[in-house]
Amino acid sequence: MQRSAPRLTRILAAAAVPVMLVVAGCSSDSGSGGGDGAGEAGGAKATASATASATPSPTPTVEPAKFAKLPTACKAIAAKTTASLVPKAKNENGTAAASTDLSHRSGCSWNGLDDKGVKGSQYRWLDVSFYRYDSEVSLGSGQARAQENFAKELGKIQATAGAKTLSTAPVAGVGDEAKIVTYTVNKTGEDFPYASVVARSGNVLVLLSYNGAGYAGAPVPRAKTIVEGATKAAKEAVASVAAANK
């Protein structure tokens, strides 16, 4: 009995060692498993964050401008039309307006005095201007910019100093939108009836003005004649914009 007791003690001690190792191993595996889970979650978050940051923001866009060119202003209205509206013009081919950028701004004018001797003289003036607006993300589309300036230019004409019997009306069949402003201004002691047209075609604005006066006893031009002349010339000017871009 005395010899078997120590032997039993040694056997129990030896048997206890694997059990401790197994328990320790489980504890270690458990801790390691928890660490891997946290790493996977962190990695997923990092990947999602990287994907989100890598996704590009949408690039701002704007509607393209309809027209890229302007017509040659002095050829935008037919020669026979300018000849009938401005008889005896000083320059039958028109006088081009000064411009540093003909792709965006251009103009032309005709004026002349038709002297009828003792019957007096008739004076006429016709001018046309073109303005083209590009589409820019920071400013908006060319069409929208032309619309905005359409309203501004119309307002300027309606605010003409000394204008009498001023009236505004839409003009059908001229571009995308058009209005004509009629009024009378007294200059050099004579009444000048005016007809000014503001028209828009796409991203191009067309401004046209026609007026006249009678001198030395000649009658004042009829308002109807001035309106009809301005409307005809405006239609040709607006049509020339599309023709220049074919």
pLDDT tens figures, 205-221: 999 999 999 999 999 99
Q: Which residues pair with 167 in a beta bridge?
A: 182
**43 vs 119: CA distance, rounded Å:** 98
Is 60 exceeded by the pLDDT of residue 41?
no
Torsion 160-205-173-141 (CA) sign? negative
Does 79 map to a domain?
yes
Q: Are residues 118 and 196 in the same domain?
A: yes
Is 80 exceeded by the pLDDT of residue 72?
yes
Is 70 exceeded by the pLDDT of residue 131?
yes
Kindly indicate the confidence band of residue 42, based on its pLDDT and cuts at 50, 70 and 90. Answer: low
Is 50 exceeded by the pLDDT of residue 29?
no
User: Are 223 and 193 within 8 A, CB to CB?
Assistant: yes
Q: Are residues 25 and 122 in the same domain?
A: no
**51 vs 95: CA distance, rounded Å:** 62
Q: Are residues 116 and 25 in the same domain?
A: no
Q: Are residues 132 and 212 in the same domain?
A: yes
Q: Are residues 22 and 83 in the same domain?
A: no
Model pTM score: 0.77
Kind plus residue range of the DSSP H or E element containing 183: strand 177-187
- Supply the pLDDT for residue 106: 98
Does 64 map to a domain?
no
Does 145 map to a domain?
yes
Does 162 map to a domain?
yes
**216 vs 34: CA distance, rounded Å:** 108
Q: Are residues 77 and 117 in the same domain?
A: yes
Is 70 exceeded by the pLDDT of residue 100?
yes
- Supply the pLDDT for residue 14: 46
Does 2 map to a domain?
yes
- Supply the pLDDT for residue 59: 77
User: Are 236 and 77 within 8 A, CB to CB?
Assistant: yes
Q: Are residues 44 and 78 in the same domain?
A: no
Identify the CA nearest to 131 among candidates 193, 84, 40, 69.
69
Is 50 exceeded by the pLDDT of residue 81?
yes
The mean pLDDT value of the chain amounts to 85
SS3 label, residue 60: coil
Q: Are residues 18 and 117 in the same domain?
A: no
Number of domains forming the structure of the chain: 2
Region 161-184: mean pLDDT is 97
- Supply the pLDDT for residue 8: 40
**68 vs 89: CA distance, rounded Å:** 32
Q: Are residues 156 and 215 in the same domain?
A: yes
- Supply the pLDDT for residue 51: 52
Does 60 map to a domain?
no
Residue with tokens 């037919």: 78
User: Which residue range forms the structural domain that includes residue 13?
Assistant: 1-55
Q: What is the pLDDT of residues 108-123, one digit of tens each?
A: 999 999 998 888 999 9
Q: Which residues pair with 124 in a beta bridge?
A: 112, 212
Q: Are residues 161 and 239 in the same domain?
A: yes
Last residue of a domain, one of 55, 83, 98: 55
**Cα-based distances in Å from 50 to 40, 41, 42:** 15, 14, 12
Q: Are residues 167 and 97 in the same domain?
A: yes
Q: Are residues 84 and 163 in the same domain?
A: yes
- Supply the pLDDT for residue 35: 45
**150 vs 152: CA distance, rounded Å:** 6
